[in-house]
Amino acid sequence: MARLIDLPHLHSGKVRDIYDAGDKRLVLVTSDRMSAFYVVMAEPIPGKGRVLTAMSAFWFDHFASEVGSHLISTDLDDLPPGAQDPSLEGRVMLCRKAEMLPIECIVRGYLTGSAWKEYQREGTMHGTRLPAGLVESSKLPDPVFTPSTKADDGEHDLNISFEDAVAKVGREQAERARDISLDLYAKGAAWAAERGVIIADTKFELGVVDGELIVADEVLTPDSSRFWPAERWQPGSTPPSFDKQPVRDYLDRLDWDKTPPPPTLPAEVIDATSKRYIEGYERITGRRFADWPGAGLRDGE
Res 159: pLDDT: 86
pLDDT in tens, 204-238: 999 999 999 999 999 999 999 999 999 999 999 99
Paired with 94 in beta bridges are 27, 73
Q: What is the pLDDT of residue 2?
A: 41
Kind and range of the H or E element at 10? strand 9-12
Q: Please, what is the average pLDDT of the chain?
A: 94
Give 94-147 pLDDT, tens digit per residue.
999 999 999 999 999 999 988 999 999 999 998 889 999 999 999 999 999 999
The burial class, CB within 10 Å (0-12 / 13-18 / 19+), for 100 is middle
What beta strand segments (E) does 159-235 contain?
197-209, 212-216, 225-229
| pLDDT tens, residue by residue, 175-190 | 999 999 999 999 999 9
User: Rounded CA gap, 158 and 25, in Å?
Assistant: 30
Instruction: Name the pLDDT band for 1 (thresholds 50, 70, 90).
Output: very low
pTM summary value = 0.94
* C-alpha angle 59-285-297 in degrees, rounded to nearest 5: 90
Residue 279 pLDDT exceeds 80: yes
Q: Which residues, 6 or more positions from 9, have their beta carbon under 8 angstroms from its beta carbon? A: 2, 17, 18, 19
Q: What is the pLDDT of residues 68-80, one digit of tens each?
A: 999 999 999 999 9
The residue-averaged pLDDT of 40-52 equals: 96
b vs e for 234-243, b when ≥16 Cβ sit within 10 Å of the residue's Cβ? eeeebbebbb
Write down all domains in the chain, each with its CATH number in brackets.
2-98+273-291 (3.30.200.20), 100-245 (3.30.470.20)
pLDDT of residue 184: 98
Residue 69 carries which DSSP code?
B
Bridge partner list, 22:
25
Query: According to the model, what pLDDT value does residue 298 have?
Result: 73
Residues 6+ apart with CB under 8 A from 179: none
Q: Residue 158 is which amino acid?
A: L
Cα separation, 238 vs 145, whole angstroms: 21
